[in-house]
A and B are shown apart, each in its own frame.
Chain A
């Protein structure tokens, strides 16, 4: 394991922010730390980097107990949500900072910084100052700066949080490719479950300062530990006192085994998908079906249908609380 967090507790004043948090991060993997706002993601990341001291518990990095090490000695790369660019230094000097601190020879620094700037596609911006860059470019500069010192682990706090949707999408695909090239163990914080599932090898879901579930994205998606995990990771609807994924629901015009009678209340066409809103036993629910299925069934508001969880559905159903 590249990072082992064991039984970490942390409070600010009397408010507990992390409660008995234990997390394993596999070497070389890209792990997403996912959870709602205020859940303690940033705090956990800062504890790993040494920017906060846990009240109790340990942090091991590459097998070494780092709990009492200062951030200076942990050799972690940290990318801050708002970049924390050194405003008075050029892009080149920003990236060179860690190497200058380590007193590497000038020729080596120049070579290494040029390589990194190429890696993050900023080679023509070396002489600019941070305020002359766009948000996405600043983010990439911060990434190059963190990578320059060849950290054991790379920690990213909402790396795309402050960017618009379009740039976000581009950068996360880029981050995934970069990670496949560089292979440094990476943990990134996000509260966007789609981003986490798309990019990460592993997920850690953190809420109210506790780890709700950790594992491969498809395991969390298909086999959630509880209703919270299930509803956080994807769309859910209720059927028969259970939470199910709307795309696991099957509709038919004729009665089927285990089929529950329902009435269509609205049909919303979202391009390739169709969202069929239903009333089952006086309760609202909805199913997500393909356009072809919707056309085949000829669904219209008011039509009676039978609905059941598809026998081939991979996702679990969880008893609703």
Chain B
């Protein structure tokens, strides 16, 4: 009896929070058939926003993958002063609101700061352009790869790497042939999560990009801007596209996740 009640509660909760809103978006999107959906997503602005999203996410995920593996190795395989601090710092983006991250980046790299002015005179514009958006996205997705890889690296232990060294492998060879295959699953999982986070990022990017239509507008910013301008078809179509991408990515994580995990 209680189990039935519990299930009913869980299902109602899911229905109200997830199924109903997403269902409504999908219904609104395809209410007039597939035509308007395709049309509103193939306008130059929509295509541009999609391109910007992909470019920003690509660089951010690449940076976070390299950085994530490096920091994980540092945290697990080395000891140095300030290690615990670094470990705590990695989790900071989880605690800080993305808007705050965006504002902080504007303070550091905007034309109001010496660093920003220096970069600007060198011809590099960070704020209100792609580099700043990449930085913002890197920051908010920072812990995902690290937190996925660290436990697996710990579990893996150092023995296999040391065995490889005694067999003549250099550091790089031991990493390539032994460590990397050992953490491949976890790394894939972390990267997929980072991709999802990067594609969906809104707050930090909104502040840093300046929301310049057809220049620094990402998909999430496009959805918000279209909605604000009463172009509901475009807003819902783009939102549905984002949701579909997220679902595909979630399915990917199910495939990549270690067996047995929920």
In the complex, A72 has a CB within 8 A of chain B? yes
Q: How far does the alpha carbon of A51 sit from the alpha carbon of B160 in the complex, in Å? A: 12
Residues of B within 8 A of A77 (CB): 166
Q: How far does the alpha carbon of A77 sit from the alpha carbon of B165 in the complex, in Å? A: 10
Residues of B within 8 A of A88 (CB): 181-182
Given the interface contacts A72-B168, A88-B181, A88-B182, does A101 sit within 8 Å of B163 by beta carbon? no
User: Which residues of chain A from 78 to 107 have any CB-CB distance to chain B below 8 Å in the complex?
Assistant: 78, 80, 82, 84-88, 97-98, 101-102
Pairwise interchain contact A84-B162, C-beta atoms closer than 8 A: yes
In the complex, A245 has a CB within 8 A of chain B? no
Beta-carbon nearest neighbor of A80 in chain B? B159
Counting contact residues on chain B (CB < 8 A from A), the size range is: 10 to 19
Residues of A within 8 A of B165 (CB): 51, 70-72
Residues of B within 8 A of A145 (CB): 163, 167
Q: Which of B163, B170, B177, B182 has the most CB of A within 10 A?
A: B163
In the complex, A149 has a CB within 8 A of chain B? yes
Residues of A within 8 A of B154 (CB): none
Residues of B within 8 A of A264 (CB): none
Pairwise interchain contact B166-A101, C-beta atoms closer than 8 A: no
Complex interface bits, A48-63 against B, C-beta within 8 A gives 1, otherwise 0 = 0111000000000000
In the complex, B111 has a CB within 8 A of chain A? no
In the complex, B164 has a CB within 8 A of chain A? yes
In the complex, A116 has a CB within 8 A of chain B? no
Q: How far does the alpha carbon of A149 sit from the alpha carbon of B163 in the complex, in Å? A: 12
In the complex, B73 has a CB within 8 A of chain A? no
Shortest CB–CB separation between residue B158 and chain A, in angstroms?
Answer: 9
Pairwise interchain contact A71-B166, C-beta atoms closer than 8 A: yes
Pairwise interchain contact B168-A86, C-beta atoms closer than 8 A: no
Shortest CB–CB separation between residue B188 and chain A, in angstroms?
Answer: 14
In the complex, B169 has a CB within 8 A of chain A? yes
Beta-carbon nearest neighbor of B164 in chain A? A97
Pairwise interchain contact B182-A149, C-beta atoms closer than 8 A: no
Pairwise interchain contact A86-B160, C-beta atoms closer than 8 A: yes
Residues of B within 8 A of A82 (CB): 159
Beta-carbon nearest neighbor of A82 in chain B? B159
Residues of A within 8 A of B182 (CB): 87-88
Given the interface contacts A87-B182, A88-B182, does A149 sit within 8 Å of B167 by beta carbon? yes
Cross-chain contact of B167 among A70, A85, A101 (Cβ < 8 A) = A101
Pairwise interchain contact B163-A78, C-beta atoms closer than 8 A: yes
Given the interface contacts A101-B167, A102-B168, does A71 sit within 8 Å of B162 by beta carbon? yes
Beta-carbon nearest neighbor of A155 in chain B? B166
User: Which residues of chain B from 172 to 194 have any CB-CB distance to chain A below 8 Å in the complex?
Assistant: 173, 177-178, 181-182
In the complex, A76 has a CB within 8 A of chain B? yes
Shortest CB–CB separation between residue A199 and chain B, in angstroms?
Answer: 22
Residues of B within 8 A of A71 (CB): 162, 165-166
Shortest CB–CB separation between residue B16 and chain A, in angstroms?
Answer: 45
Pairwise interchain contact B162-A101, C-beta atoms closer than 8 A: no
Pairwise interchain contact A51-B173, C-beta atoms closer than 8 A: no
Q: How far does the alpha carbon of A85 sit from the alpha carbon of B178 in the complex, in Å? A: 10
Pairwise interchain contact A84-B168, C-beta atoms closer than 8 A: no
Pairwise interchain contact B170-A72, C-beta atoms closer than 8 A: yes
Q: How far does the alpha carbon of A98 sit from the alpha carbon of B174 in the complex, in Å? A: 11
Given the interface contacts A80-B163, A86-B163, does A101 sit within 8 Å of B168 by beta carbon? yes
Pairwise interchain contact A101-B159, C-beta atoms closer than 8 A: no
Complex interface bits, B87-113 against A, C-beta within 8 A gives 1, otherwise 0 = 000000000000000000000000000
Q: Which of B165, B166, B181 has the most CB of A within 10 A?
A: B166
Shortest CB–CB separation between residue B81 and chain A, in angstroms?
Answer: 14
Residues of A within 8 A of B169 (CB): 72, 97, 101
Residues of A within 8 A of B159 (CB): 80, 82, 84
Pairwise interchain contact A101-B173, C-beta atoms closer than 8 A: yes
Cross-chain contact of A51 among B166, B177, B181 (Cβ < 8 A) = B166
Q: How far does the alpha carbon of A202 sit from the alpha carbon of B178 in the complex, in Å? A: 36
Beta-carbon nearest neighbor of B181 in chain A? A88
User: Which residues of chain A from 9 to 46 have any CB-CB distance to chain B below 8 Å in the complex?
Assistant: none
Beta-carbon nearest neighbor of B171 in chain A? A72
Q: How far does the alpha carbon of A229 sit from the alpha carbon of B190 in the complex, in Å? A: 55
Shortest CB–CB separation between residue B153 and chain A, in angstroms?
Answer: 14
Residues of B within 8 A of A84 (CB): 159-160, 162-163
Residues of A within 8 A of B164 (CB): 86, 97, 101
Shortest CB–CB separation between residue A279 and chain B, in angstroms?
Answer: 52
Shortest CB–CB separation between residue B200 and chain A, in angstroms?
Answer: 33
Q: How far does the alpha carbon of A148 sit from the alpha carbon of B166 in the complex, in Å? A: 12
Shortest CB–CB separation between residue A301 and chain B, in angstroms?
Answer: 54
Seed contacts A51-B166, A149-B167; 11 additional CB < 8 Å A-B pairs: A50-B166, A51-B162, A70-B165, A71-B166, A72-B170, A77-B166, A78-B162, A80-B162, A80-B163, A84-B162, A86-B178
Please provide the 7 A-B residue pairs with the shortest distance between their CB atoms, ordered closest to farther. Answer: A84-B159, A98-B167, A84-B163, A78-B166, A71-B165, A88-B181, A101-B168
Give residues in B with beta carbon < 8 Å to A. Answer: 159-160, 162-170, 173, 177-178, 181-182
Can you list 7 A-B contacts with CB-CB less than 8 angstroms, sorted by A residue number?
A51-B165, A71-B165, A72-B166, A72-B170, A80-B159, A98-B168, A101-B164
